[in-house]
Amino acid sequence: MKVGAFATIEEGVELGDFCSVASGAVIKSGVTAGCHNEFCEHAVVGGAPQHAARPLEVGRVRIGDHNVFREHVTIHRALKPDASTSVGSHNYVMAGAHFGHDAIVGSNCIFANSALLGGHVIVEDRAFVSGAVAVHQFCRIGRLAMVGGHARVVQDVPPYMLVDGQTGCVVGLNVVGLRRSGHSSEDITALKSAYRVIYRRGLPWRDVLDVLDREFEAGPVAHLAGFLSSGSRGFTQERRAPPSTTLRLRVPEDDATIIRARAG
């Protein structure tokens, strides 16, 4: 293990083999991490939960293997003694990102600069959260979803969806991510069909779930259906384009014609 100058590792911390703790980083009591984790300069992992009613005894932070936590990343311990803030493996967390208390982060995720997760947020495997995204407490971000920069996430983001940063709405499937993760063309076709069921048919919500269960019994749509059948905050809606409009451009000759007509 490599420990830089002025780094702090408090009593009771458990770090696996080949971890590195850079200069100024702080790993506080209550943290358990696996092997090959990199804690960069001034990252603070294991801080007390930010909660007005924080108990005297709080939970832990549990981290898997092969994660990178860049400069000034903060991860807080769970609120209750028997709970943990959980981070999986092979995640890349860029500078200034924050994971609130009781957050659960899967594996192979990317969090860009200043991505913020509130308390009890759940992020599934292979999600991509762009820079300056703020995720409200108790929200979920599904597998292979991609959230655009500066988005405000106040409802669950279903798996495999692409969220526009400006509006915070779904704008389609994360097709590039699906292909890069090895999903077949058949999987993507099935997800496109499921997307139309969810966002385009105008069905009542219970009918949406029934159609997904009946028509898609396996594959990624089955996971999508399971995600949609749970949750407490509702789901991010699709961005709809405004009705098309026709603009009439007026040229100087038109103005002259109008003036002559009025004078006559």
Q: How far apart are CA 45 and CA 256, in angstroms?
A: 71
218 vs 38: which has the higher pLDDT: 38
User: 151: closest CA among 170, 137, 134?
Assistant: 134
DSSP H helices, the chain, are 175-180, 185-199, 205-215, 220-228, 252-263
pLDDT for res 250? 53
pLDDT in tens, 27-44: 999 999 999 999 999 999
Three-state secondary-structure class, residue 44: strand
Other beta carbons within 10 Å of 58: 21
Considering 47, 76, 102, 125, which one is annotated as catalytic?
102
pLDDT for res 221? 96
Residues 215-234 have a mean pLDDT of: 93
Q: How confident is the model at residue 232 (pLDDT cuts 50, 70, 90)?
A: confident
pLDDT for res 263? 53
User: DSSP secondary-structure letter at 107?
Assistant: S
pLDDT in tens, 127-163: 999 999 999 999 999 999 999 999 999 999 999 999 9
Three-state secondary-structure class, residue 170: strand
Average per-residue pLDDT in the chain?
92
Encoded tokens for 14: 């458990």
Q: What percent of the chain has pLDDT over 70?
A: 91
pLDDT for res 241? 60
Considering 88, 106, 119, 168, which one is annotated as catalytic?
119
Kindly give, in sequence order, each residue whose CB lies less than 8 Å from that of residue 249, ignoring residues fewer than 6 positions away: none
**102 flagged as catalytic:** yes
User: DSSP secondary-structure letter at 131?
Assistant: T
Considering 72, 101, 120, 223, which one is annotated as catalytic?
101
pLDDT in tens, 163-198: 999 999 999 999 999 999 999 999 999 999 999 999
Other beta carbons within 10 Å of 56: 5
Kindly give, in sequence order, each residue whose CB lies less than 8 Å from that of residue 242, ignoring residues fewer than 6 positions away: none
**182 flagged as catalytic:** no
216 vs 257: which has the higher pLDDT: 216
Considering the domain 2-174 in this protein, what is its CATH number?
2.160.10.10
Residues 100-122 have a mean pLDDT of: 98
**42 flagged as catalytic:** no
Residues 59-78 have a mean pLDDT of: 98
Residues 5-34 have a mean pLDDT of: 98
Encoded tokens for 10: 């408090």
Q: How far apart are CA 117 and CA 112, in angstroms?
A: 12
C-alpha to C-alpha distances, 209 to 196, 213, 228, 230, 232, nearest whole angstrom: 13, 6, 8, 11, 16
3-state secondary structure 50-81: CCCCCCCCCCEEEECCCCEECCCCEEECCCCC
Please check the confidence at residue 60 and state whether its pLDDT lies above 90.
yes
pLDDT for res 150? 97
Q: How confident is the model at residue 253 (pLDDT cuts 50, 70, 90)?
A: low
